[in-house]
């Protein structure tokens, strides 16, 4: 385990904001091999920037690592730091993806934010760095469109 990791093997507290969250990026153990990594956060929460009410989403992050991977405990703490963060769905979803790309520099990344209804309307937000590389197996994100309680 690298001494440069802040969370893995250490006691960690929940960051107060996404900006204060520190993400850890260990070396890719399979550098030189193209493979897809998927993280799913089915209980993501943030706050509406207008009303202060909680918003809920199912977040799916897919990426093709290059030199580093994102460590899962640090990612969990980062995503959890949004629970008191007021931002629109678009800002949360795209901001998560852009931060991972800026810091980890994967070969490819996509994020899907499947948000539960606000004002009676679900809002789904999708962002990716470009077309997936040829030959990379990219399965469907597996989140059904919102259908209500029927």
Please tell me which residue in 24, 55, 62, 92 is annotated as part of the active site. 55
In percent, the amount of the chain with pLDDT more than 70 equals: 96
Domain-embedded: residue 70 = yes
Instruction: Quote the number of domains for the chain.
Output: 1
Query: Do the Cβ atoms of 45 and 82 come closer than 8 Å?
Result: yes
Domain-embedded: residue 47 = yes
Domain-embedded: residue 6 = no
Domain-embedded: residue 13 = no
How many CB atoms are located within 10 Å of the residue 18 CB? 19
Domain-embedded: residue 10 = no
User: How does pLDDT run across 104-126, given as a tens digit for each residue?
Assistant: 999 999 999 999 998 888 999 99
- Respond yes or no: is residue 92 known to be catalytic: no
Confidence of residue 146 (pLDDT cuts 50, 70, 90): confident
pTM: 0.92
Give me the domain span that covers residue 79: 25-128
Residue 112's nearest CA partner among 102, 100, 123, 125 is 125
Query: Do the Cβ atoms of 73 and 7 come closer than 8 Å?
Result: yes
Domain-embedded: residue 30 = yes
Residues 6+ apart with CB under 8 A from 64: 34, 35, 36, 37, 106, 107, 108, 109, 132, 133, 136
- Respond yes or no: is residue 55 known to be catalytic: yes
Please tell me which residue in 3, 24, 34, 48 is annotated as part of the active site. 48
User: How does pLDDT run across 38-64, given as a tens digit for each residue?
Assistant: 999 999 999 999 999 999 999 999 999
CATH code of residue 58: 3.30.1130.10
Residue 73 has phi, psi (to 5 degrees) of -65, -40
């Amino acid at each position: 385990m690298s001494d440069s990791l802040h969370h893995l093997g250490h006691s960690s507290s929940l960051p107060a904001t996404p900006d204060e969250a520190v993400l850890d990026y260990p070396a890719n153990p399979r550098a030189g091999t193209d493979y897809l990594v998927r993280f799913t956060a089915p209980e993501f929460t943030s706050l509406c920037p207008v009303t202060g009410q909680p918003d809920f989403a199912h977040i799916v992050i897919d990426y093709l690592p290059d030199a580093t991977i994102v460590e899962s405990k640090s990612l969990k703490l980062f995503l959890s730091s949004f629970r008191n963060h007021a931002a629109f769905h678009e800002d949360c979803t795209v901001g998560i993806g852009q931060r991972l790309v800026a810091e980890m520099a994967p070969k490819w990344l996509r994020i899907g934010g499947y948000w539960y209804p606000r004002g009676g309307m679900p809002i789904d937000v999708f962002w990716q760095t470009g077309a997936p590389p040829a030959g990379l197996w990219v399965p469907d994100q597996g989140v059904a469109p919102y259908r209500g309680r029927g």
